[in-house]
Amino acid sequence: MSSEGFLKEMQTIGEKFLLKLQKLPKADPVEILSFCVVLLFIVTVLLLMIIACSCCCYSCCSCDGRPDHRRRKIQVRPTAH
């Protein structure tokens, strides 16, 4: 997908979202609740992605950006019977 197509798609989604927000005060309670559930899901996914990325970055690098060489990988070997 080209960048122009992506921007056009994002603009279309934004316009639909704005239209939905404008109609929300006149909507049924079920529609308001479903909109809130979808919004909560999106926020939760974004928050979990931020937490996962920060934890991954923190485990690979120390706070100053240098790799942490103190951790060593432990190789698991099968036990002999």
Q: Does the pTM exceed 0.75?
A: no
Euclidean distance between CA atoms 25 and 22, whole angstroms: 7
Average pLDDT value over all residues in the chain: 81
CA distance 17 to 28: 17
Please provide residue 74's backbone torsions phi and psi, each rounded to the nearest 5 degrees. -100, 125
33-55 mean pLDDT:
90
Predicted confidence band at 75 (pLDDT cuts at 50, 70, 90)?
A: confident
The DSSP line for 28-44 is -HHHHHHHHHHHHHHHH
Q: For 45-68, what is the mean pLDDT?
A: 74
